Amino acid sequence: MWNDGPVLEILIVAAAVFGYSLVSERLAMTPLTAPMVFTTVGLIVGSAGTGWFDLDLESESVSILVEATLVLLLFVDAVRIDVRSLLDHSMFPSRLLAIGLPLTILLGGVFAGWMFPDLGTTEALLLAAVLAPTDAALGQAVVSDKRLPVRVRQGLNVESGLNDGVMVPVVAVLLALSGAGQEGESGAAEWVELVARQVGFGLLCGVTTGIAGGWLLHHQVGRDWVEGLYRQLATVALAAIAFASAEVLGGNGFIAAFVGGLSFGYIAAATSSDVADFTEDEGELLSSITFLVFGAVLAGPLLADIDWRVALYAVLSLTVVRILPVALAFLGSGLGRETKLFAGWFGPRGLASILFALLVAEELENEVAETIVLASVATVLLSVYAHGLTASPWTSAFAGRLRKGPADQPEMMDVPDLPTRRRLG
């Protein structure tokens, strides 16, 4: 009677979004972040709480939400990338991506293989890859507090915006190899064919959609044939076309979405300068819903299954597995010890890890998938609260210490605007 169909779930989601909207500006610089709010609502109304939110993890609604959110996230992040500016002024994020990210995957894979005997080498690396992307939204003050030098806050924001796209082919390949092993496709030729199909068609559909769609939209806008609203809707449509066309051909749609965004942003830079904001707003809405679903459908029901190994891996993933690679990445950079520790700690695991974990659950459907999902859920849940609670106080104190230091500190170096995950200011 209480929960007849999806109407109650829709009501809960709508009320949560509306309620948070009313106080969002007030909460922006406090430890109470949007992911914390929506995850907590999910925990309260899910099966581990009141039981009002009774959505099945394997339902089509969850699959659609996951895919739509990740597609928009990847496409918008890619559209915002100014490759030339990034290459010219990117020491901070490039070290994190080129050195820190691979080391994080390797170290996370070593710990996963050691702590979870049911995981093979591929699956251990898959778990590490699922948890490699960072999410700036979980430590909002770190990327929003103007008292923090722009080089530091923008560097972490840029890293967050790019590493999920970088990780898509890695996760896709490891997931394909794990699935092939599960189905008995263990020959090298089968693996190569599978990987080539996933990556090849993903790249082909992404480049084709981005270039052709970007050129057509830019051309028609120049002729004043496109209404303002439909410039924005066209951007959303291109993201969906890139994803769906790759999936139809047997490729990876998420690779296509990211590559499509890169191509579209390059071809239609002037056209896409403002239309991506609408797509980003849609992505923000889907992200909020995803954190609520995460709390209700994933975290709540799995809390009782978290044992000491899973809890320890979550702690290691957010500390040693992240902080040590970041420290190594910044060797010789001149950055201070606290800056390295600050950048290492504020590598929250959030939206991308949730979505990747759900993809693993959908594709593998075995005990290995259960281990990966459980470890991912525990890590993200810990990250939501640990990074949310520490972001504002540490950022404020750290910014004050930097301002009192020498003016020629590397952290204080002025840098131009770079592509970011979250709009600042």
User: Per-residue pLDDT tens for 171-218?
Assistant: 988 988 887 655 554 555 666 777 778 888 999 999 999 999 989 988
- Identify the domain containing residue 152 by its residue range: 7-22+31-412
**Most confident stretch, 3-17, 132-146, 294-308:** 294-308
**Residue 1 within a domain:** no
* Closest residue by Cα to residue 264 from 207, 200, 201: 207
User: Does residue 312 have a pLDDT over 60?
Assistant: yes
Give the model's pLDDT for residue 197: 82
**Residue 419 within a domain:** no
Give the model's pLDDT for residue 2: 47
Q: How far apart are CA 167 and CA 133, in angstroms?
A: 7
Least confident interval from 127-136, 249-258, 275-284, 305-314: 275-284
**Residue 425 within a domain:** no
Give the model's pLDDT for residue 330: 93
Give the model's pLDDT for residue 349: 92
**Residue 330 within a domain:** yes
How many independent structural domains does the chain possess? 1
**Residue 2 within a domain:** no
User: Does residue 16 have a pLDDT over 60?
Assistant: yes
**Residue 417 within a domain:** no
User: Per-residue pLDDT tens for 241-254?
Assistant: 999 999 999 888 88
Number of neighbours of residue 328 by Cβ within 10 angstroms: 14
User: Locate tokens 């990034």: which residue?
Assistant: 86
User: Does residue 73 have a pLDDT over 90?
Assistant: no
Q: How far apart are CA 384 and CA 337, in angstroms?
A: 25
Q: How far apart are CA 339 and CA 361, in angstroms?
A: 37
User: Does residue 417 have a pLDDT over 70?
Assistant: no
**Residue 11 within a domain:** yes
Give the model's pLDDT for residue 62: 77
User: Does residue 56 have a pLDDT over 90?
Assistant: no
Least confident interval from 105-114, 165-174, 183-192, 314-323: 183-192
Q: What is the pTM of this model?
A: 0.87
* Domain CATH for 355: 1.20.1530.20
User: Does residue 57 have a pLDDT over 80?
Assistant: no
**Residue 423 within a domain:** no
Inter-CA distances, 39 with 290, 338, 359, 361, Å: 9, 30, 19, 20
